[in-house]
Amino acid sequence: MIEWFYWLQLGVAIVAGLLAVGFAIAKRTPNDYTLGSIVLLGVLLLVQMIVAAVQPALGNSPTGSLLEFWMYLVTAFLMVIAGAVWALVERSMMSNVMLGLLAGSIAVMLVRMDVIWTVNGT
């Protein structure tokens, strides 16, 4: 993983989660801000897939389990898609709660992916 890109993804995930929870507390339904931040997180995960596929060829190989890393990455991406579809189908305040929990879960998964990639790194 590229460290600055990891921090960017983590920041977007945290902001997206706080934004969604804030809108849920305000009893608002999913809107462009909450869904847009989740879609941005999905795009960043898609870019991470490309980066993770290219980095080993450039000498930046993971020191942990490559299979475990990819399972976290693919699962996180699929969760974003499922969460966005759910928020579009069920337009209620609880969808924002779900988007907030989703973004928080993605943030935790990103931390785990970074640990897997750099488990023996400096």
pLDDT tens per residue across span 39-86 = 999 999 999 999 999 988 888 888 888 899 999 999 999 999 999 999
> What average pLDDT does the segment 92-96 reach?
91
> What average pLDDT does the segment 100-121 reach?
91
Rounded Cα–Cα distance for residues 86 and 11 (Å): 23
- Asked, for residue 90, whether it belongs to a domain, the answer is yes
Q: Over pLDDT 70: what percentage of the chain?
A: 98
Determine the pLDDT at residue 28.
92
Show the domain range for 60. Answer: 3-117
How many domains is the chain built from?
A: 1
Rounded Cα–Cα distance for residues 110 and 118 (Å): 12
- Asked, for residue 56, whether it belongs to a domain, the answer is yes
- Asked, for residue 122, whether it belongs to a domain, the answer is no
pLDDT at residue 122 is higher than 60: no
Task: Tell the residue number behind the tokens 């462009």, with chain if given.
Answer: 32
